[in-house]
């Protein structure tokens, strides 16, 4: 298994271009199942998860040009050519929970779907009850069989299988559901009649999916709000679309600059998607200078920013919440930074109550953290000390890399395949910024 070796203490300097968003790209790719015409996406990040999604879509009869065709490695040109395939196999879905986002498109377009039920993962139990509730509200008959979700669309008076537009409520104990909203939104685009999704996820990745669906011919109102109205259409056509920048990758590199007391500029930076993150950074004393003026609304989330990292970091209290609140996917990274703040901080996790596997690993590096239920109390220390640590999930691993960049001595992070799911060539990016980091085979 591969690992990272980091010698910490070097301030990072240079420029990083933020890649396209993983969590936007995955449901966008699944939307290719909604039409027989070509769907081409640009700025699809080259990650283990997007490679697995290509594999899953191919198994479902979607032709996809190889990633480097035409010398454009981030372009994903897809066309669904074999509608007879409706089974998403366990062997592919188990590698990536986002495999669930083929469920809505398959059901809406092909009338039937068999998708292996995703299991739990390191950040919690991850149920899919809201996805199923939403699709059932659109008339789908859903059963569970041998670990698979089996869903069938109702037949209309002429015997055609088609979902029915209805009122759908997607609120759960921890707010809405991002991929559940993606599933219902995609399915409703082809349903007969109007669907109103209440307590819809407001995440920018859902807005991006809605924008692609609209350019495919869907009729959608209210994107970015908790109430989305979808007037179903009979068919969708092809489209070409550029994936939004990855707000979580962006936030991770802001913290890399701050934790190493470096001088880093980020381009393609999604300023408007990171309000709550910027608010917490302000409190900590980390500010961003915008180096350009947006040329128009489309450029507001593709800015160039320079990170100002103070020598002394203030403590803060951060609470993860659905968008536009502080993103749970930046919780571990912020915690790594707060370990070095001057005072006591608190992090409260309201999306995935057990998403704290990075805590014992940070403690191994000298962090002073106490976990009390969904809160972590962090008493800032003067320094972190390198240690061998274990990556447990994608964002926890990112938090450990950040801690390693600041720590005295050598940190070895095992199981970096978690990082490869969500950060494109992270060690090369950090090397270019002057970090002493290398990938090696730990076996």
| Active centre residues (catalytic) | 121
For ligand EPU, the closer CB: 256 or 341:
256
Q: State the minimum distance, in angstroms, from the CB of residue 172 to ligand EPU.
A: 4
Residue of the chain from 178, 212, 281, 341 that contacts ligand EPU (CB under 6 A): 178
CA atoms within 13 A on the CB side of 138: 37
Stretch that binds ligand EPU, among 4-12, 166-174, 207-215, 360-368 (CB under 6 A): 166-174
Q: d(Cα 142, Cα 263) in Å, to the nearest integer?
A: 53
Q: d(Cα 120, Cα 117) in Å, to the nearest integer?
A: 10
Stretch that binds ligand EPU, among 80-88, 123-131, 140-148, 210-218 (CB under 6 A): 123-131
Count, residues in the chain? 443
Q: Are 230 and 219 in contact (CB under 8 A)?
A: yes
Q: d(Cα 210, Cα 231) in Å, to the nearest integer?
A: 12
Q: d(Cα 59, Cα 74) in Å, to the nearest integer?
A: 21
Number of Cβ atoms within 10 Å of the Cβ of 417: 14
Q: Say whether residue 200 binds ligand EPU (CB under 6 A).
A: no
Q: Say whether residue 177 binds ligand EPU (CB under 6 A).
A: yes
Residue 340-379 contact track with ligand EPU, rule CB under 6 A, x = bound: -----------xx---------------------------
Q: At a CB cut-off of 8 Å and minimum separation 6, what does 81 contact?
A: 36, 61, 62, 63
Q: Say whether residue 128 binds ligand EPU (CB under 6 A).
A: yes
How far the first Cα of the chain sits from its last, in Å, is 6
Residue 98-117 contact track with ligand EPU, rule CB under 6 A, x = bound: x-------------------
For ligand EPU, the closer CB: 180 or 251:
180
* Residue 394 three-state SS: helix
For ligand EPU, the closer CB: 205 or 340:
205
Question: Checking DSSP bridges between strand 263-269 and strand 13-17, what pairing results, if any?
Answer: parallel
Stretch that binds ligand EPU, among 128-136, 285-293, 298-306, 402-410 (CB under 6 A): 128-136
Q: Say whether residue 324 binds ligand EPU (CB under 6 A).
A: no
Tell me the C-alpha to C-alpha distance, in Å, between residue 394 and each of 58, 321, 390: 25, 19, 11
Q: Say whether residue 282 binds ligand EPU (CB under 6 A).
A: no
Q: Say whether residue 202 binds ligand EPU (CB under 6 A).
A: no
Residue of the chain from 14, 61, 67, 127 that contacts ligand EPU (CB under 6 A): 127
- Say which residue the tokens 């056509």 belong to: 237
Give contact residues for ligand EPU (rule: CB under 6 A).
23, 26, 97-98, 124, 126-131, 172-174, 177-180, 328-329, 351-352, 394-395, 422
């Amino acid at each position: 298994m591969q690992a990272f070796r980091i010698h910490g203490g070097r301030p990072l300097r240079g420029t990083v271009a933020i890649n396209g968003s993983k969590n936007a790209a995955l449901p966008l790719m699944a939307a290719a199942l909604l039409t027989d015409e070509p769907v081409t996406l640009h700025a699809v990040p080259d990650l283990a998860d997007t490679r697995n999604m290509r594999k899953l879509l191919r198994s479902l009869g979607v032709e996809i040009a190889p990633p480097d065709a035409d010398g454009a490695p981030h372009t994903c040109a897809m066309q669904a050519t074999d509608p007879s395939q409706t089974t998403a196999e366990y062997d592919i879905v188990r590698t990536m929970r986002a495999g669930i986002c083929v469920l809505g498109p398959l059901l809406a377009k092909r009338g039937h779907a068999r998708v292996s039920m995703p299991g739990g993962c390191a950040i919690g139990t991850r149920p899919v009850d809201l996805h199923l509730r939403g699709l059932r509200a659109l008339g789908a008959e859903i059963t569970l069989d041998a670990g698979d979700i089996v869903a069938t669309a109702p037949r209309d008076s002429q015997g055609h299988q088609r979902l029915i537009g209805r009122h759908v409520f997607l609120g759960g104990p921890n707010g809405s559901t991002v991929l559940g909203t993606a599933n219902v939104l995609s399915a409703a685009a082809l349903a007969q009649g109007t669907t109103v999704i209440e307590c819809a996820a407001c995440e920018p990745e859902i807005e991006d999916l809605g924008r692609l669906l609209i350019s495919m011919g869907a009729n959608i109102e209210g994107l970015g709000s908790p109430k989305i109205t979808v007037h179903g259409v009979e068919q969708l056509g092809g489209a070409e679309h550029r994936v939004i920048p990855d707000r979580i990758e962006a936030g991770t590199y802001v913290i890399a600059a701050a934790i190493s007391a470096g001088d880093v500029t980020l381009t393609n930076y999604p300023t408007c998607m990171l309000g709550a993150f910027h608010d917490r950074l302000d409190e900590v004393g980390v500010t961003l200078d915008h180096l350009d003026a947006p040329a128009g609304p489309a450029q507001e989330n593709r800015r160039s920013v320079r990170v100002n990292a103070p020598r002394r970091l203030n403590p803060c209290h951060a609470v993860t919440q659905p968008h536009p609140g502080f993103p749970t996917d930046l919780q571990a990274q912020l915690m790594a930074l707060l370990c070095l703040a001057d005072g006591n901080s608190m992090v409260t996790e309201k999306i995935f109550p057990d998403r704290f596997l990075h805590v014992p690993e940070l403690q191994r590096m000298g962090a002073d953290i106490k976990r009390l239920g969904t809160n972590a109390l962090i008493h800032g220390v003067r320094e972190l000390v390198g240690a061998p640590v274990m990556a447990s999930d994608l964002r926890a691993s990112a938090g450990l890399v950040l801690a390693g960049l600041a720590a005295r001595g050598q940190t070895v992070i095992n199981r970096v395949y978690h990082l490869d799911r969500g950060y494109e060539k992270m060690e090369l990016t950090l090397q270019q910024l002057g970090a002493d980091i290398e990938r090696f085979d730990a076996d």
